[in-house]
């Protein structure tokens, strides 16, 4: 009976996000620009992920809270604290007592960030201050295989952190990779690189312009790119609506592995 109840919980849990005309750093840094255009423009609807993915994301959220609690105990966590009694908000390090009701129980609120010029919005996991040095704290969870091979921050995570630099004005970050299988971690420092900032501005600016004109961005991959064949959620939409993509995909039809389906085209009722 308990097994059935828990299975039903995970089946019904809906963690899809309503997509608006807002560019999120995590998606901008990890998705093909054309793929992200289809999602933001409403031409493709993301499906609720499978149960195993929901469990992984839930585990990642738990690890985030654990790390934030450690930073809180160390007295290095900076941000907005919400009183659990009266919901008053206090900025800075964790206060001893609420200035309104004098209670001492708080919850940390992740740092909201935005850049209207590029339609960019997101939230950093934390702002930390260590020995007078202030920077972002970013938490990533990975499996044992990736953790063993990890020697530096992943490229997409460096780009994501630079999106946060662009929105926050900060120029330094600590990124902590946590092995979700055993709790071990590796910490790297990331300094602001203006070349990466400029690349993000071009990338986000192009996506914004395409969304405003309702025209998809050009393809930037060669015909044998594995991302398009195996990971892209919207390649069928590319294929259906744009002949140059159809021709391009046919050039490199050498891989028989099936692609994962994580969404569906939005029906045109007009």
Could you tell me if residue 103 is inside a domain?
Answer: no
Backbone angles phi, psi at 86, to 5 degrees: -120, 0
Q: How many domains does the chain have?
A: 1
Over residues 74-88, mean pLDDT: 92
Residue-level pLDDT at 243: 56
Please enumerate in sequence order all residues whose Cβ is within 8 A of that of 213, keeping only pairs 6 or more positions apart, or say none: none
Residue 267 or residue 167, greater confidence: 167
Query: Which CATH number does the domain housing residue 169 bear?
Result: 3.90.320.10
Instruction: Report if residue 77 sits inside a domain.
Output: no
The answer to whether residue 252 is domain-embedded is: no
The range of the structural domain enclosing residue 156 comes to 19-47+111-240
The answer to whether the CB of 185 falls within 8 A of the CB of 176 is yes
The angle, 0 to 180 degrees and rounded to 10, between the axes of the packed helices 194-213 and 155-168 is 80
Say what the pTM is: 0.84
- Among the residue ranges 52-66, 171-185, 214-228, the one predicted with the least confidence is 214-228
In a domain, 210, yes or no: yes
Closest by CA to 126, choosing from 112, 141, 111, 114, is 111
Q: Please check whether residue 102 lies inside any domain of the structure.
A: no
């Amino acid at each position: 009976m308990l097994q059935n109840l828990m299975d039903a919980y995970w089946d019904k849990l809906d963690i899809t996000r309503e997509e608006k005309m807002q560019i999120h750093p995590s998606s901008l840094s990890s998705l093909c620009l054309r793929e992200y255009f289809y999602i933001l423009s409403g031409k493709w609807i993301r499906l609720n992920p499978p149960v195993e993915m929901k469990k992984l994301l839930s585990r990642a959220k738990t690890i985030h809270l654990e790390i934030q609690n450690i930073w809180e105990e160390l007295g290095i966590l900076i941000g907005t604290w919400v009183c659990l009694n009266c919901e008053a908000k206090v900025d800075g390090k964790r206060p001893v007592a609420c200035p309104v009701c004098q209670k001492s129980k708080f919850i940390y609120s992740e740092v909201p960030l935005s850049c209207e010029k590029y339609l960019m919005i997101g939230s950093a996991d934390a702002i930390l201050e260590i020995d007078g040095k202030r920077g972002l704290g970013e938490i990533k969870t990975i499996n044992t295989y990736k953790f063993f091979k990890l020697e530096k921050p992943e490229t997409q995570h460096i780009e994501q952190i630079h999106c946060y630099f662009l929105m926050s004005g900060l120029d330094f970050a600590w990124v902590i990779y946590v092995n979700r299988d055993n709790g071990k971690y590796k910490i790297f420092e990331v300094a602001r690189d203006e070349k990466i900032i400029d690349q993000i501005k071009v990338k986000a600016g192009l996506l914004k312009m395409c969304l405003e004109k309702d025209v998809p961005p050009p393809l930037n991959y060669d015909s044998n790119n594995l991302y398009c064949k195996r990971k892209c959620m919207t390649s069928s939409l590319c294929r259906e609506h744009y002949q140059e993509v159809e021709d391009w995909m046919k050039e490199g039809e050498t891989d028989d592995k099936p692609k994962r389906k994580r969404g569906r085209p939005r029906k045109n009722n007009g």
